[in-house]
A = this chain, B = another copy of it.
Amino acid sequence: MTPPPPAPAKPIGIAVIGAGYWGPNLVRNFQASPAFRLRWLCDLDADRAQRVLGGYSTVQVTTQLDEVLADPDVDAVAIATPAGTHLPIALAALRAGKHVLVEKPLAATYEEGRQLVDEAAERGLTLMCDHTYCYTPAVLRIRELLHAGELGELHFLDSVRINLGLVQRDIDVVWDLAPHDLSIIDFVLPPGVRPTAVAAHGADGIGAGRACVAYLTLQLSNGGIAHIHVNWLSPVKVRTAIFGGSKRTLVWDDLNPSQRLAVYDRGVDVASPEELEDEQRRDILISYRSGDMIAPALNEREALRTMVEEYARAITTGEPALTDGRAGLRVLEILQAASVSLAEGGTMIKLDEGQQA
């Protein structure tokens, strides 16, 4: 990714909306960034907001969004409220001329997300989605490797994100966890390769009223397959993804800090089709490579810090953020199609957005 710009002469005035689970992380990172000046923390519960700031802070607390949006020193907002409230809050902010960062998912529905994208485009404001994982050193490196063709053609992608998670009241495990995997896939796939269809299977073993375990299968435009396993009920935590390419295969194990990425130069080679004369000879033409594995050195840097810098870059330059509103929209389209598939017992649902974008 492009290097962060020099800190602007005057820091960007920012307000964080929402002091729940994610808000404190945004507060901490905006405070640490020289590119921003944190003006407000806004939450319906003023005590909660004050607790997040602690007893030694000069940042202002309010329960009134209007007050924040009326402040001319606020150039931008960061929204970390439940998905169902993203549309009204973000829309109000955009209409007040503020740049907007939204926690994933971009909105509660594809249609709502599209409203936000259109509104921001119309007004020439930055709309960015906080797809945090995309800014981890590991995912940034994966993107580099895939875009540079280091793995060759991508044949399969297998992502597992399971652990004992909070059973959400309003959304199922697909909407809770899969945005992470889908935003990563959207981020790292090389130009020209997009998901074209999705099927979803799930189960609600515990009678929670919504899927607690789910599997998504995505067809890719290059004939490959991507598969996602999300699960709230696993007592063991697994966060692994395998990117199987024609030249190399990459394994990402996010819970192994000493070896998050491993690139295997071993695999299966097949002679190109024109060399094949008949079906019977095929087995001769498949060979195995037993090569080395390289675990690239990664720096350890908090993803949110990089995300915050990217937000500053997008605001300052007017260029779209790496995970802009459109990226959030592509993720929403797949989530919505997955919900349809889940309801229909696993039908493969075609995607439109993927093709256009």
Contact = CB atoms under 8 A, between A and B. Distances in A.
Interface stretch (A81-89, A114-122, A175-183, A233-241): A233-241
A290 to B, nearest CB: 5
Interface string A141-160: 00000000000010110100
Interface string A163-207: 010010100000000000000000000000000000101110111
Interface stretch (A105-113, A124-132, A221-229): A221-229
A288 interface: yes
Contact of A235 (B57, B155, B249): B249
5 closest A-B pairs (Cβ-Cβ)? A155-B205, A235-B264, A203-B225, A293-B295, A169-B283
A19 to B, nearest CB: 15
Given A206-B155, A207-B273, A264-B235, A297 B286 contact: no
Nearest to A341: B346
Contact of A246 (B58, B206, B227, B267): B206
Contact of A237 (B38, B236, B258): B258
Contact of A205 (B55, B246, B293, B345): B246
A267 B235 contact: yes
Interface in A294-310: 294-297, 299
A276 to B, nearest CB: 9
A209 interface: yes
Interface in A70-99: none
A323 interface: no
A337 interface: no
A354 interface: no
Contacts of A283: 167, 169
Nearest to A38: B56
Contacts of A348: 345-346
A285 to B, nearest CB: 10
A44 interface: no
A67 interface: no
B236 A251 contact: yes
Contacts of A293: 235, 259, 294-295, 297
Contact of A233 (B155, B291, B294, B297): B155
Contact of A217 (B153, B201, B251, B257): B201
B237 A225 contact: no
A343 interface: no
A54 B53 CA distance: 13
A346 B199 contact: yes
Contacts of A279: 209
Interface in A241-258: 242, 244, 246, 249, 251, 255, 257-258
